[in-house]
Amino acid sequence: MKTSICMLSLTLMLMLLVLSHNILCTVAVAGEREQQMKKTYIIQMDKSKMPASFADDHFQWYGFSLKSVSDSADMLYTYKNVIHGFSTRLTAEEAELLEKQSGILSVMPELRYELHTTRTPQFLGMLGGINEAVFPASEKLSKVIIGVVDTGVWPEIKSYDDKGLGPVPRSWRGQCEEGKNFNSSSCNRKLIGARFFPKGFEASILGPIDEKVESRSPRDVDGHGTHASTIAAGSAVPGASLFGYASGTARGIATQARVATYKACWSGWCLSSDILAAMDKAVEDGVHILSVSIGRSQYEDLYTDFIAIGAFSAMAKGVFVSCSAGSRGPESDSTSNNAPWITTVGAGTLDRDFPAYVSLGNGKKYRGASIYSGTPLSSGLHPLVYARNASNSTSDQCAPDSLIPEKVVEKIVVCDQGGTNRLDKSMVVKKAGGMGMILADTEGYDEEQLVVDSYVLPVVVVGQKAGDAIKRYITSHDNPKATFSTGKTELGVEPSPVVAAFSSRGPNPICVELLKPDLLAPGVNILAGWTGAAGPSGLAEDTRRVSFNILSGTSMSCPHVSGLAAVLKAAHPEWSLAGIKSALMTTSYATYKNGKPIEDGATGKPATP
């Protein structure tokens, strides 16, 4: 009898354990489903409608409002400088209920933004001659702080050397936040602040950042943020170059200004909740200039564009905001960051080029561009093939896994621009066994304006006319062959500047009466500081490490104007933000020295507003 009772008790205990496990699993699954149903929302509050009972702590009002619609939701960030409000995760129903409450100005879903990817001070006429008078005394410029919202910073490079700089400005209220592989000692009198904002990104991926591929700290593993901040205010570094190209003294536009970085972009994702948090903290910390090389791939109106919303309050608090126009040219109506209170910057070329040549088996030779520095092609001519004739599809753009190895092994492959990233195309060719690549511009690109990259195999970029001629040669010959020859850095290239074909352009999609971009600045083949966590190509397979890299984009032109604004801020501290913007725009030029209008790189014709 006792044995039967024991067996019965044991059976009941096992049944209870199984039942408890099933209940826990059901609860866990339900919780996971609920999280998957939720989205991040940014809630903007109207403080004038805050109940008097919360007068001592308006954050309690935020929390009370949130808990009234969701017991499980927590605030990701609270904002108090560029907006009043918070961000959180809600279901659509919860968001709708919250929006109906008194004191709620708006409940808007998270938006994803994107990054807009030695010689520029001379080119802008800022070194030598009468224009040296533009520069304020170094002690004045050293009081100006440029905040950069981007992918972070690689503090070890020489561009952040603080030699010759005095104490950190007393107006500075920020800090150097610590994280994995980033200590407070990483900051100095040049890089005076560094913060990171991962909560929106982590909420979107429903988990913590994978520190095997990203650093949960201000450290830049992408390179974009380091490049941008050193353009704006990098210290002078003699002997800078990328594998000998663009050699000289690399310096930021505002060399003596201080830098504070705000990491809001993670693994290529820049989410509005993180961007707003970065802008909010930058204003609180006391930056004078905000440089934001980030934008939407599609335009938003001024009431839903979070960069525009944040920039408005920053401007109202005396912070100059410079943003990139976008790199979606030559399409019209393609600009981002179109708010009138933002200084929106397009991209143009420098008077510098990196010539390279493609020689064909028929004796014809075509000029292109290259900064390849690895093992060159062996002497003599090599088999040449057009990607369309060596693809498992009709693709001529060297898309991933599109090339048939037997048709490209030990051959130079001609790939057309578009479809996929230029650097990814080179890796596709290399993995398929190709020995080199000719990257041909297609319709909409003028052959005088060639963007170079640090490829992992020999590559020459050619314009549309040259590319078409090379493809005609391949079609008309049974055994087409080619070889490459590279040159050195060439200065004094004319005409310059030319509006970059990729630079986004107007008309302003929000307000056609307001011309955008406001300004053009150097944004093609720009040398600046680089991360030690990635090779110059940015490809995972690239094991090379450099201190400087050459990139193109309005992401590069924006910090040029940020640096110029810092110079004017220091020289004329009494000027308003509108006065600084006006000075930048009214002292720019729309013609060359010979009186002819600046050219559009997409058409070869005069650029228009």
Catalytic residues: 150, 224, 555
CA 553 – CA 524 distance, rounded (Å): 6
Q: How far apart are CA 441 and CA 454, in angstroms?
A: 17
Task: Tell me how long the chain is.
Answer: 609
Closest CA to 548 of 516, 525, 576: 525
C-alpha dist (Å) from residue 81 to 38, 277, 322, 537: 27, 9, 18, 38
Distance CA 274, CA 292 (A): 13
- Do the Cβ atoms of 519 and 343 come closer than 8 Å? yes
- Say how far apart CA 98 and CA 103 lie, in whole Å: 10
Nearest to 350 by CA among 552, 485, 486, 506: 552
The Cα–Cα gap between 157 and 140 comes to 25
For residue 582, what is the enclosing H or E element? Answer: helix 577-586
**Sequence-distant (≥ 6) Cβ neighbours of residue 220 within 8 angstroms:** 150, 151, 152, 153, 154, 226, 261, 263, 531, 533
Q: Count other Cβ atoms within 10 Å, centred on residue 176.
A: 20
20 secondary structure, DSSP code = H
How far does CA 111 lie from the centroid of its chain?
Answer: 16
In the 8-state DSSP scheme, what is residue 342?
A: S
Question: Any idea what DSSP says for residue 378?
Answer: P
CB 127 within 8 A of CB 159: no
Q: How many whole angstroms separate alpha carbon 264 and alpha carbon 210?
A: 16
Radius of gyration of the chain (CA): 27
